[in-house]
Structure 1
Amino acid sequence: MTEFGKDLTVTETPIPGLLVIELPVHGDSRGWFKENWQREKLRALGVPDLGVVQNNISFNDAVGTTRGIHAEPWDKFVSVAHGRIFGAWVDLRAGDSFGTVFTVELDASRAVLVPRGVGNSYQTLEPDTAYTYLVNDHWSPDAAYTFLNLRDETAAIDWPISLDDVEISEKDQAHPRLADVTPFGPRKVLVTGANGQLGQALRTLFAGLDHVEFTDVDELDLTADLSRARPWRQYDTIINAAAYTAVDQAETAEGRVASWRVNVEAVANLARVATAHQLTLVHVSSDYVFDGSREVHTEDESFSPLGVYGQTKAAGDALAATVPRHYVVRTSWVIGEGSNFVRTMASLAERGIDPSVVDDQHGRLTFTSDLAAGIGHLLDTGAPYGTYNLSNDGTVQSWADIAKRVYELTGHDPARVTPVSTADYYATAEGPIAPRPTHSALDLTKVTAAGFVPRDADEALRNYLADTAQ
């Protein structure tokens, strides 16, 4: 019988994310009323915002009607409008809780939030039972389900009415036992810009994980409408490693347009999708959002970009920060696979060329393996959302200092590197030259407090050169 007058409360269960919600029901001789789903009150009690897109009702004539066990690729809020059920849930997600069982009776005054991948089933205890559920994705014939047999001996659900005495569909009768169930996988992660320097490092970090997808500009146009580009409710995170990084070319008429499209329009599209579908957006930013007037930049410093590239990155940061679940990861002086400053200096040293290198720009290198690892750490630990500086640690150096160190580590005389000012270096350059920040070093206090300790830049440089020499 429905219990009237109790408080709205939420109770955790042995299945992670499966919550029991006690609902206040108000009634008199005429009937009763309840708020079945009240977003703000439930959020205040720790229930995640479901983002409901569909409401389904299953009417059951007879006592003992039994349905399940079905794990679906969406979250659902299960309640009863009329009657009473015995509900049984089995965690079919990959992980330590796989196979965990929870049961409880539901009437109009009790509901259950069922996470994606948890097997859902019920048995009616009264005639004319109306079983309702809110879901946060539209039903699709292409949706992937995971099933468990109602009679599974491992789950050993203690059904109030023997399964021998109830009506069960042929499909439900044919579902596998727990030992034969392939665990339900996690929501997907999409990495954009997957062929760039950071993208390649992310490929290495996530190697072997089937739920991580990689895409590049040839496969997914981020400047187009992305609303139907993917079944977004099946995703948890987008890592945006795509960027227009030709800082000098961005000062040209064509480059200015391209830079704004990739660094701003594309980010706006990703932010729109992430917000609409409650995804986490990881967006990679740059020291170029600052003018370099401060020797070390903190996360809360106001934007002060000098050139077009920096302006577009600042605009992209502002857009990404509108997403409720976001990490803006600000970095500098990136070194990874392919052409980069360290490889160029090592090649010049080997070929007997004595370069002139600027000595009035100061910062720290960021190796993409460390940048990728830092991003992975923020996601894995569920660090508070927001902006994080992320580079390698250690002594702040000029480009000339780093060039000398590359020459030294590769067995060449560092005196072959001639320090010059930025103005002198570009004095004879043809075409537009973007202004560079004088100081690019990033304060790493916040990311360190989040539990990620960046490697020393010189140690990372030594290892990088050793690896590339093999």
Structure 2
Amino acid sequence: MSIEFSKKLTAHETPIPGVVLYDLPVHGDNRGWFKENWQREKMVALGLPDFRPVQNNISFNEKAGTTRGIHAEPWDKFISVATGRIFGAWVDLREGPSFGAVFTAQLDPSQAIFIPRGVGNAFQTMEDNTAYTYLVNDHWSADAQGQYTFLNLADETAAIAWPVPLADAELSDKDRAHPRLAEVVPMPAKKILVLGADGQLGKALRELYAGEATVEFAGRADFDFTNEASFTARNWKNYSTIINAAAYTAVDSAETPEGRAAAWAINVTAVARLARTAVEHDLTLVHVSSDYVFDGSRESHDENEPFSPLGVYGQTKAAGDAIVSAVPRHYIVRTSWVIGEGNNFVRTMASLAARGISPSVVKDQVGRLSFTQDIAAGIRHLLESAADYGTYNLSNSGEPQTWADIAADVYELTGAEREAVTGVSTAEYFKGKDVAPRPLGSVLQLNKIHAVGYEPPAASGRLKAYVRSLGHPAVAASTKAESPGE
């Protein structure tokens, strides 16, 4: 079979998810031929994952009928033929519904194929002196050997129709001894690592991903942000994504010398280490931001508004956002007025209502509540929908309210009188107190998150369900007051 010259660069999907066959332009004349075996810009534009190859390997085979495989390796591969022709066979050996799926094709130098991590690769040479070349996005190491998955070339379930019968082919003893499909342990998917798993958002992510083996949770005891070893001791090759739900959020304490140092350590220095880790290991980094990166002078905030933080906490969150934005694969999820499991403004107001206390609550800060279950669901949506990387505002929807409006709603929902809540200005509420400045306007525009298919529920409905879930015993038990706007 002669090489077909001057094909158009074209991608062809196969029955195995993620395995894509490419036609390559090969330019030939009386001297021979030339091709661009790997052209990042053109191929990424065509949809090939930008898998950052680090090593180029060539397998030379003297005789037709030489057969190698089936090997599933813990890295991605981009495979083509340099000279000669092969019959290729690929079997999905990853955990999941496509386990055992088979694709076969004959390849000459005018074709190439992308094989994701965990898909078994095998080939049989159709001509003497065939050279089989592949780019990989990780360096071989002795440790990686234990992560390989193998399948017997003669497996009856895969039923690969080898052009040269295996009895007549050139095989290694190791390849002859590989297990049948029923005995293969599937290669596990790369994991999502949730950091800050004991906080309000972390608990919501635990509930959302409960029972999913591909999601790992790390609280403060499991991942110490102040310890460099937390970032270097983990085998990041086994992960695809980091969700950073951890942060220093003590807004007022951040204004003290000790708090300022702690806020910068957690919200900036540790985030820089996470960003470096994500870049070095080609991970997706999800980072949770805050309305405090703005001074609140605008009626509402879109994702492109320049930073204008008022206090130390906002400054550290803005610095962290700037760092994360340099990571090629990142989602910055900006929230406001977070409510979840734990002490928060709504729980405090419900507790005061249950005890018959009439509070003064600020009436000139405007925003929307963000319930952690919906932040968690939005993060999952961004990851699973493969939305464009970047920053997304994510609060609950509905009409913006003041903290006093929300407090009155909580009182009404618990059976108390709305009129028990007195609205005061921020200046009056904090008069004589040593506190951080608050943005008055915290309304986040939600157009961008809507455009990628996620519709956060209305805050009013979530508030009703949240207050109902507290119940009077739980409400009365919560006595810790929190400053409005934290």
Q: Return the TM-score normalized by structure 1.
A: 0.92
Check the 8 A contact 2:10/2:24 in 1, yes or no: no
* Residues 1:93 and 2:81 are matched in the alignment: no
**Which letter does structure 2 place at the counterpart of 1:411?**
G
Q: Give the whole-Å Cα distance in 2 for the aligned partners of 1:375 and 1:255.
A: 29
Which runs of 5 or more residues in structure 1 are unaligned? none
**Taking structure 1 as reference, are residues 382 and 292 closer, same or farther at Cα in structure 2, changes over 3 Å only?**
same
Q: What corresponds to 2:406 in structure 1?
A: 402
Q: 2:478 matched to which residue of 1?
A: none
Distance 2:45 2:404 in 1: 54
Counterpart amino acid of residue 336 in structure 2: S
Hey, what does 1:125 align to over in structure 2?
126
Letter in 2 for 1:3: I
Which residue in 1 is equivalent to 2:38? 37
Q: Does the 8 A contact of 1:226 with 1:270 survive in 2?
A: no
Measured against aligned partners, the alpha-carbon deviations of 1:292-336 in whole angstroms (never above 9, x if no partner) come to: 112222222222111111111112112222222221111100011
Q: Is the 8 A contact 2:7 2:110 kept in 1?
A: no
Greater CA drift, 410-419 or 284-293: 410-419
Map of 2:469 onto structure 1: 467
> CA contact under 8 A between 2:334 and 2:392: conserved in structure 1?
yes
1:4-37 Cα offsets, whole Å, 9 max, x none, are 6323523322222222233344556665544322
Q: Is the 8 A contact 1:305 1:314 kept in 2?
A: yes
State the shift of 1:152 in Å. 2.1
How far the C-alpha of 1:367 sits from its partner, in A, is 0.9
Matched, 1:161 2:164: yes
Query: Counterparts of 1:180 and 1:393 in 2: how far apart (Å)?
Result: 50
3-state DSSP of counterpart to 1:17: coil
Q: CA offsets per residue over residues 92-147 of structure 1, 9 Å max, x none?
A: 23444333221122233332211112111111223343322211112234432332
Which residue is 2:106 aligned to?
105
2:6–2:27 CA contact under 8 A, matched in 1: no
* Distance in 2, Cα, partners of 1:333 & 1:450: 23
TM-superposed CA distance for 1:420, in Å, is 2.0
Q: Work out whether residues 2 and 109 of structure 1, in 8 Å CA contact, stay in contact via their aligned partners in 2.
A: no
Tell me which residue corresponds to 2:215.
Answer: 212
**By how many angstroms is 1:219 displaced?**
2.7
Which letter maps to 1:455?
P
**Could you tell me which residue of structure 1 aligns to residue 391 of structure 2?**
387
Aligned position for 1:336: 340
Partner SS, residue 194 of structure 1: coil
Q: Does 1:457 align with 2:459?
A: yes
Matches within 5 A, 1:53-68: 53-68=54-69
Partner of 1:234: 238
Question: How many residue pairs get matched?
Answer: 468
Does the aligned pair in 1 maintain the 2:11–2:46 contact within 8 Å?
no
Q: Secondary structure at the match of 1:297?
A: coil
Whether the 8 Å contact between 1:54 and 1:138 is mirrored in structure 2 is yes
Partner of 2:482: none
TM alignment of 1:5-404, pairs within 5 A: 5-7=5-7, 9-12=9-12, 13-26=14-27, 32-143=33-144, 144-222=147-225, 224=228, 228-404=232-408
Q: Secondary structure at the match of 2:449?
A: helix
| Distance across 2 between alignment mates of 1:420 and 1:436 | 14
Deviates more, 1:136-145 or 1:119-128: 136-145
Deviations 1:237-270 (A, max 9, x none): 2111111111111111122222122112222222
Rate the CA distance shift 1:226–1:131 in 2: closer, same or farther, 3 A: farther
- Alignment check: 8 A CA contact 1:283 1:320 kept: yes
- What residue identity is the alignment partner of 2:367? G
Query: What is the CA–CA distance in structure 1 between the aligned matches of 2:45 and 2:452, rounded to whole Å?
Result: 25
1:447 aligns with 2:427: no
Question: Structure 1 counterpart of 2:372, which letter?
Answer: T
Q: Distance in 2 between matches of 1:256 and 1:263?
A: 10
Rounded Cα–Cα distance in structure 1 between residues aligned with 2:201 and 2:59: 48
Q: Residue deviations 1:47-88, cap 9 Å, x none?
A: 222211222333334332222212222100122334332110
Q: Secondary structure at the match of 1:78?
A: strand
Task: Tell me the amino acid that sits aligned with residue 120 of structure 1.
Answer: N
**Compared CA separation, residues 369 and 28, structure 1 to 2 (3 A):** same
Pairwise CA distance, 1:459: 1.1
Q: Distance in 1 between matches of 2:411 and 2:453?
A: 34
Please tell me the residue identity of whatever aligns with 2:178.
Answer: H
Q: Distance in 2 between matches of 1:100 and 1:389?
A: 39
Amino acid at match of 1:465: V
Counterpart in the other structure of 2:481: none
